[in-house]
Structure 1
Amino acid sequence: MEMIKRVPKIDSENMAGEILEKVSREVEFDHITFLYPLRPDNVILNDFSLKILAGKTMVLVGGSGSRKFTVVTLLQRFYDPIKGEIRVDGVAIHNLQLKWLRSLMGLVSQEPILFATSIKENILFGKEDATEEEIVEAAKAANAHDFISQLPQGYNTQVGERGVQMSGGQKQRIAIARAIIKKPHILLLDEATSALDTESEHKVQQALDNIVVDQTTITIANRLFTIRDAHAIVVMVNGSIMEMGSHDELMQNENGSYKSLVHFQQVEKSENDTLSHPTSNEDMQSKSQGHYILSHSISSILMAQSSLVDDEEVIDDPKHPSPSFWKLLALNLPEWKQACLGGFGAVFFGAIEPLYAFAMRSMLSIFFLIDHQEIKRKISSYYLFFATLTVLQMIVNIIQHYNFAYMGEYLTKRVKERMFSKILSFEVAWFDQDKNSTAIASVYTRQVILKGVTKKTIKAQDESSKIAVEAIANLRTITSFSSQGRVLKMLQKAQEGLSNESIRHSWFAGIGLGCARSLTTFTRALEYWYGGNLVYHGYITTKQFFETNLILANTGRVIANASSLTSDLAKGENAIGLVFTILDRNTKIIADEMNAYKPQNLIGHIELQNVYFAYPTRPNVMIFQDFSINIDAGKSTALVGGSGSGKSTIMGLIERFYDPLKGIVTMDGRDIKLYNLKALRNCIALVSQEPTLFNGTIRDNIAYGAFDKTNEVEIIEAAKIANAHDFIASMKDGYDTWCGDRGVQLSGGQKQRIAIARAVLKNPKVLLLDEATSALDSQSENVVQDALEKVMVGRTSVVVAHRLSTIRNCNQIFVLDKGKVIEEGTHSSLLAKGPNGNYYSLNSHKQHDIINVNNASSGA
């Protein structure tokens, strides 16, 4: 009730406030001072002033933690500043209707947030009443239509929880389409193309350039080529503006911060000469497409899939029969003493009720005596009896409830620990299934509560739970798009069946409960009427009447109370079945098999041999067919290609998150299925595109990388290598700074560097980097890349990257497309193929942009 009655200080449902008839889209920050409520001692912005002219593009650049995103957050009015005003068209935003204000804005964030629904529904978050044509048009503008059309269900394809069924680039393009369809007056881009491959990035950037022509655009960017045409560039450091101007103006300052940032992104001059005469975009696109055509037809692919996909992989786990009560009791064996004491207390408590009823009826008979002394004497004896009974009842109650509660708590603790341990041992494919999602991870609790209810109701409850969990987890995205109403409609739609079913059941429940209650009263009336007649005709005495009446009433109440537990027992039986479904399930990929091979000195030679693979949740979409690749030990190997080409899937197969349908993955010539997986993974470190942090301190998150206990010196050294130590040390609590849920208290670049430090601390034999520097600004990327190159020496390193600078020093590069290797070689050898090469095509757009910027800078 406290939460329901709470009126938020910034209330999006408050319809009060001004709505401007005409919007010119001018934005102004006037002497803003701001600090986050959770960090009242850390000033984020201090006397910050900035003006963005209507229809112009303003770019914010600077290192990670320079408070760039805070500017966007304040404009959306997620928070209010401590001092100063933020104005749109001269009106302070706190005087504008909040929902209307946010409807003016479209946001594409660095880490794209999708909801567990279809692609179409995700795009419609930008505009609820959009037509099919508008959806397709927005997807085409975001370079998403082609890959969506190739999916079996097209725009109706489910993206999975948090978009898990999509690659990083695919998620980002869907998020961009969602912003484009909104046609916002003010466009907010937070590294909107960071997850895209080079070719897709160029196309999407062109699309974004087209839609920002008449819009006020605020762009947070780390990459040079995405900001060269901006009307103004703002360089931020620790929440202050260090420099401001156009690209040409800022490049004239030899000692300026912006020129330093540009310097870190410039590519070697020799490579510029190689690409000085690129062909037109259309020619390069047609040529590259010609190389991408595969010999297999769709029909042959589907035929191959039908013969390869194991039926066991696509069907649901079989339902386990309800285990016996003794199986559950066996889990409580360590508490056998408490079980005996609790049973002892329960037996005595059960005996007290009839004793109480017997004494009560005897006491009532006293009032029919006529000898006052006898009444006093008997009352004194009954007083002592009831006092003794009270003390005895208190003692046996304590014995019973304490010991049974002790058993229950330890049983619950033991079951939770075993379930959690068991769940952590399951293969990744188990988590990909919708029924095993985190929709209130309480799916089992839900099924217990809804025991005996129809499948339709259970499904409705499941959908409602998913929507509620995602709405809370993705609140920022929902708030940015003012989609609270849409989410509530989705919730209402999901609960329609549940509501109708509940109404029907409430009628039955109401009638049944009413009858049950009335029967109790009718029975009591019958007892007194019939008993009274027996007394009246002399068949029984008054004492016998009260004796029978009270014993029946008290004993009946106890029996009724016990009977009321039968529904709980039925629910408990269902819960036991669900618990043991998990505890008895054998994972298909055992992590710690004792008899498996444990590597003593791993070299790191990796090979995928004739691999066929499809994700279990999409068995009809083959990722690899007869795929082979050889990754040399102790060398660095780069995987490049468009989004969805299979790069991250290779990482998953190396880590053995999944097993191939056919073919093998080997490590040092041995099938990885023969390894003790826990020992193997201790030799492998992964830094993924979207860094995952836990809700703990920075020290704890880095220490997760260590196999054994680690000390402070090692943690700091790892942080220094990852270029994270300086920003950590600058925080008030240093390494004890709390990261928040999923690292929400840190910027994207800061989270990524902590994730890299965690991998460095592990000191792995095999290092997997899946766009490990994608979230870093140019200067940090350069420093971290140098550090990673040092760490990669002598290790087998597999790098998935879109940026040229992160892969040009790799020993070998594989160019992938649609699950095939279409080119391989070194950076120089692949570029030497010229415009006819696929690798050249992937990089030519980006390289050409850098050349143009460099030439412009030189001219300036």
Structure 2
Amino acid sequence: MDGDILDNIIGEVEFKQVEFAYPSRPEYIVFKKFCLKIPAGKTVALVGSSGSGKSTAISLLQRFYDPLGGDILLDGVSINILQLKWLRSQMGLVSQEPTLFATTIKENILFGKEDAGMEEVIEAAKASNAHNFISQLPLGYDTQVGERGIQMSGGQKQRIAIARAMIKAPKILLLDEATSALDSKSERVVQEALDKTFVGRTTIIIAHRLSTIRHADLIAVVQDGQVIEIGSHDELMVNENGFYPMLVQLQQTEQVKIQEKGNKDLSMNGSAYITNMESNITSSRMLSLHSRTSSANSTTSAHASLAGDLNNGDKKTFTPSFRRLLGLTLPEWKQATLGCLSAILFGAVQPLSAFTQGSMISIFFLTDHGEIKEKTKVYALSFLGFSLFSMAINIIQHYNFSYMGEHLTKRIRERMLSKVLTFEVGWFEQDENSSGTICARIENDATVVKSLIGDGMSLVVQAISGVTLAWVMGLFIAWRLATVMIVVQPLIICSMYTRIVIIKTMSQKAIKAQQKSSKLAAEAVSNHRTITAFSSQDQILKMLQTAHEGTRKENVRQSWFAGLGLGTAQLLIACIVAFDFWYGGKLISQGYITAKALTETFLILFNTGLVIAQTASMTSDFAKSVEVVESLFAILDHCTGIEPADSNGYLAEQITGRVEICDIDFAYPARPNVIILKNFSITIEAGKSTALVGQSGSGKSTIISLIERFYDPLKGVVKIDGRDIKSYNLRSLRKHIALVSQEPTLFSGTIRENILYGAPDKTDESEIIEVTKATHAHDFIAGLVDGYNTRCGDRGVQLSGGQKQRIAIARAILRNPSVLLLDEATSALDSESEKVVQEALERVMVGRTSVVVAHRLSTIQNCDVIAVLDKGKVVEEGNHSSLLAKGPTGAYYSLINHQSRAHDST
């Protein structure tokens, strides 16, 4: 909170001689004397190749990093001396990869402006073209988006992220590929809305689609960390040899190809167009009528099917089996045996020591001082012997139990992780199974079980050993007193049992709250850039506080009962001590026992009571362990709905790649009331390329997920090579399928390791280099100091969006798959890289089944089949030429027209 605050911010931004390198790669200089002045209230676009430093400029302006040299000014004041929270509150950010939190749509939008009303939320959603699809959801703005927005399509997430930025009404708007995930129609609508918000506001835009920045006041071309050209669109186009005209030419060439081919096709098929137009009008009316009449039936049947699936799901209640848990320690049976023997011996020390204490007291009543001294030496040496014996036996005991516990921890974590990796995607979409919660369970559950088996087991064995020996000794010394003391000891046990029940109830609520807080914490850490950009730390902490508030109040109430239980136990112990002395005194007066026998018996059995109390004091740990063991076996025994390694499944040595989707009904498990696909059918021929186009949320990515069998349909069947996909051994089938997603996923290892995930068996360096050259990635990798050994960072954070996408494509090509699934595979690339990578992909797609999801229609015009989707159905199907021949009434023609208008002015 330290720093200055400007009373009246105008919005002028200036980069002066900025030099910068990322802390993780200090030897790789991103900016070299970078200079750029952005006038207040103007829109400046940054264009250039992927990795040229565009996104870095936005990160520096928000002070995610500080430059190594130079300065960044806001209204002539260095941002280093401004209050950081205030500075970021003046900026609204929409990133290339939108980050949503696992809460409702409304709460995600409110991250932009915490105190906004519902009217403002709706207005922002309308401005970002998100209100319509949100209103169609059963819960509307209260719909949960899932972890990292997994329940939303890429375009839907992006529009929510734009609404979050718009509601903030910032002085400076930062758009890093803000419309990259939108279809053509949505892009045009959202772009018009964005253009309105630019007025009177300083705006910095990063875009690969030059159509989105043609009206910018200034366009700065960034290359190798420097601004090499700057000016308006018209000014930059004057220099025909400039870098910007070259980028424009690349995009124009692709668009002209579509338009020329479309005009040619239309001229050749004029008569066909008239005929098709009439038939299409009739077909569309019939399709509309059919969809209306079948909608209710399909929805009802889907709901019924879904209900059956849920009822038949894994709803077992898992009773904790400590015998089964002990069975996991069988490989360490030698250590378990030694540990138990040591615990038995150590348990015997307690009653023997108590007996020695009781006997020692009697020597102080002797009259012969010499005898007192001699016996005192004997007892002193006895206690010394007990201490040395206890030390030695404790070392042996704890070493063996620790050895066993460590190996058990390793074994449990490996089994849990290997089991979790087999679960269906729908399991992870449940709130209680978020990645943060699962990681916390894998980390903590094994540790608690180790404590249970190590500390708990040793304590129980010691208690059994000590109690058994104490009872035998007590009965032998003074059976009358011992019998009475043993009879009343269950009162203590009963009071402690009540305490166990109370603590177990409390622990259940506490564990649930802990899992929710772990989930929030994991999201906060992984999405720290978004939280920092919107200064939402307080909001995250409030969400964390809310998660604990109900549990805290309940725990306060329960603590009264726990206190009463503990107080009762303490009272019973005091009463039992008084009763024991009263009865012992009565036995002495009647001549049944001696005073020495009383002290020996009392100390032996009273210390036994302390052992029981000590064991009972572990009840909180035991109660927690019961929950953990239940949680552990719930995972280990969970029957996944989609078994990836079914031993009875058909092993696919080779596949041709013919895909048939027949009469599919589908809804995501987390939103069973929202039917995504209705009576959906499509055939994808082997060795052919099929493109899926349509508006965001129409079901394109869902089809990819069904082919990969991430989910099973509610009704219908998915076939590959004529065989139901459910009959395959899924792992063997997926070896022949490669996926490149819209949001590329990289691991925190090196670039080489990430590429090798595509084909772990291939280690030939020449093959890796070949695929990176094919995807236009080799040059930038070779330019890094560590080359292919460069670490990508958590989820690839050290690389730009385009660089990550090219590595993901290289990973897929290395597999040499029979079926290639491309879900917006080139969305994050600049024009030059997209052209090169698209040519490489088209070469790779030859002779193999390819399914392409794309919003940029220039990337799919050469596909053998193009299927146009709308509201979960195929409304048109054919190749580029035949679909264009349908003219203005055709859905594909309409999509082409939207993109053409977007590119005309460029």
**Which residue number in structure 1 is paired with residue 308 of structure 2?**
311
**Which residue number in structure 2 is paired with residue 858 of structure 1?**
none
Pairing partner for 1:723 from 767, 776, 779:
776
| Structure 1 residues 357 and 242: CA distance shift in structure 2, 3 A | same
1:404-415 equivalences under 5 Å are 404-415=401-412
**Which residue number in structure 2 is paired with residue 502 of structure 1?**
555
Question: What are the Cα deviations for residues 784-832 of structure 1, in whole angstroms up to 9, with x where unaligned?
Answer: 1111111111111111001122111111111111111111122233223
Pairing partner for 1:45 from 6, 31, 39:
31
Whether contact under 8 Å (1:250, 1:258) holds in the other structure is yes
Q: What is the one-letter code of the residue matched to 2:696? A: S
Q: Does 1:416 align with 2:413?
A: yes
Pairing partner for 2:526 from 451, 463, 473:
473
Whether contact under 8 Å (1:199, 1:843) holds in the other structure is no
TM-score relative to the length of structure 1: 0.91
| Structure 1 residues 253 and 314: CA distance shift in structure 2, 3 A | farther
Shift of 1:533: 9.9
Shift of 1:692: 0.8
Q: Does 1:767 align with 2:754?
A: no
Q: Does 1:401 align with 2:454?
A: no
Structure 1: which 5+ residue stretches go unaligned? 1-13, 279-283, 854-860
**Which residue number in structure 1 is paired with residue 544 of structure 2?**
491
Pairing partner for 2:360 from 347, 363, 369:
363
Alpha-carbon distance in structure 1 between the residues aligned to 2:342 and 2:21: 59
Alpha-carbon distance in structure 1 between the residues aligned to 2:536 and 2:787: 37
Alpha-carbon distance in structure 2 between the residues aligned to 1:450 and 1:790: 65
**Which residue number in structure 2 is paired with residue 71 of structure 1?**
57
Whether contact under 8 Å (1:314, 1:616) holds in the other structure is no
Alpha-carbon distance in structure 2 between the residues aligned to 1:313 and 1:326: 31
**Which residue number in structure 2 is paired with residue 694 of structure 1?**
747
1:87-126 equivalences under 5 Å are 87-126=73-112
Q: Does 1:812 align with 2:865?
A: yes
Alpha-carbon distance in structure 2 between the residues aligned to 1:697 and 1:48: 29
| Structure 1 residues 604 and 194: CA distance shift in structure 2, 3 A | same
| Structure 1 residues 166 and 710: CA distance shift in structure 2, 3 A | same
Alpha-carbon distance in structure 1 between the residues aligned to 2:321 and 2:659: 47
Alpha-carbon distance in structure 1 between the residues aligned to 2:99 and 2:289: 33
1:509-528 equivalences under 5 Å are 509-510=562-563, 512-513=565-566
**Which residue number in structure 2 is paired with residue 296 of structure 1?**
291
**Which residue number in structure 2 is paired with residue 658 of structure 1?**
711
Shift of 1:762: 0.8
Shift of 1:368: 4.0
1:279-678 equivalences under 5 Å are 295-297=290-292, 299-313=296-310, 317-441=314-438, 442=440, 451-453=504-506, 460-510=513-563, 512-513=565-566, 543-544=596-597, 546-678=599-731
Pairing partner for 2:849 from 789, 792, 796:
796
Question: What are the Cα deviations for residues 593-641 of structure 1, in whole angstroms up to 9, with x where unaligned?
Answer: 2232212331111111111212222222212222111111111111100
The structure whose residues are more often helix, as a share, is 2
Structure 2: which 5+ residue stretches go unaligned? 267-276, 449-501
Question: What are the Cα deviations for residues 428-473 of structure 1, in whole angstroms up to 9, with x where unaligned?
Answer: 1111222222243236969999831387766555544433332222
Alpha-carbon distance in structure 2 between the residues aligned to 1:306 and 1:539: 80
Identity %, equivalent residues: 61
Please give the secondary structure, in 2, of the residue aligned with 1:336: helix
Question: What is the aligned residue count?
Answer: 832
RMSD: 3.0
Alpha-carbon distance in structure 2 between the residues aligned to 1:811 and 1:595: 36
Alpha-carbon distance in structure 1 between the residues aligned to 2:164 and 2:128: 9
1:174-323 equivalences under 5 Å are 174-266=160-252, 267=254, 269=256, 271-273=258-260, 295-297=290-292, 299-313=296-310, 317-323=314-320
| Structure 1 residues 713 and 521: CA distance shift in structure 2, 3 A | farther
Q: Does 1:679 align with 2:665?
A: no
Whether contact under 8 Å (1:143, 1:173) holds in the other structure is yes
Please give the secondary structure, in 2, of the residue aligned with 1:574: helix
Shift of 1:50: 1.1
Whether contact under 8 Å (2:503, 2:623) holds in the other structure is no
Pairing partner for 2:12 from 18, 26, 33:
26
Q: Does 1:59 align with 2:55?
A: no
| Structure 1 residues 569 and 455: CA distance shift in structure 2, 3 A | closer
Please give the secondary structure, in 1, of the residue aligned with 2:354: helix
| Structure 1 residues 293 and 744: CA distance shift in structure 2, 3 A | farther
| Structure 1 residues 222 and 790: CA distance shift in structure 2, 3 A | same
| Structure 1 residues 545 and 595: CA distance shift in structure 2, 3 A | closer
Alpha-carbon distance in structure 2 between the residues aligned to 1:108 and 1:314: 41
| Structure 1 residues 772 and 226: CA distance shift in structure 2, 3 A | same
Please give the secondary structure, in 1, of the residue aligned with 2:504: coil
Alpha-carbon distance in structure 1 between the residues aligned to 2:70 and 2:420: 50
Alpha-carbon distance in structure 2 between the residues aligned to 1:450 and 1:115: 33
Shift of 1:661: 1.7
Q: What is the one-letter code of the residue matched to 2:54? A: K
**Which residue number in structure 2 is paired with residue 132 of structure 1?**
118
Q: Which is further off, 509-518 or 50-59?
A: 509-518
Q: What is the one-letter code of the residue matched to 2:233? A: H
Q: Which is further off, 107-116 or 535-544?
A: 535-544
Alpha-carbon distance in structure 2 between the residues aligned to 1:646 and 1:428: 17
Shift of 1:192: 0.2
Shift of 1:186: 0.7
Whether contact under 8 Å (2:506, 2:555) holds in the other structure is no
Alpha-carbon distance in structure 1 between the residues aligned to 2:610 and 2:808: 61
Please give the secondary structure, in 1, of the residue aligned with 2:744: coil
Whether contact under 8 Å (2:660, 2:718) holds in the other structure is yes
Question: What are the Cα deviations for residues 692-732 of structure 1, in whole angstroms up to 9, with x where unaligned?
Answer: 11121111111111142423222222222222222222222
Please give the secondary structure, in 2, of the residue aligned with 1:794: coil
Shift of 1:542: 5.8
Shift of 1:750: 1.3
Shift of 1:570: 3.5
| Structure 1 residues 525 and 31: CA distance shift in structure 2, 3 A | farther
Q: What is the one-letter code of the residue matched to 2:28? A: N
| Structure 1 residues 619 and 503: CA distance shift in structure 2, 3 A | same
Alpha-carbon distance in structure 1 between the residues aligned to 2:258 and 2:350: 93
Q: What is the one-letter code of the residue matched to 1:91? A: V
Alpha-carbon distance in structure 2 between the residues aligned to 1:450 and 1:121: 34
Shift of 1:159: 0.9
TM-score relative to the length of structure 2: 0.86
Alpha-carbon distance in structure 2 between the residues aligned to 1:175 and 1:32: 30
Please give the secondary structure, in 2, of the residue aligned with 1:753: helix
Alpha-carbon distance in structure 2 between the residues aligned to 1:184 and 1:663: 49
Q: What is the one-letter code of the residue matched to 1:397? A: N
Shift of 1:492: 2.6
Whether contact under 8 Å (1:314, 1:619) holds in the other structure is no
Q: What is the one-letter code of the residue matched to 1:678? A: R
Whether contact under 8 Å (1:457, 1:497) holds in the other structure is no
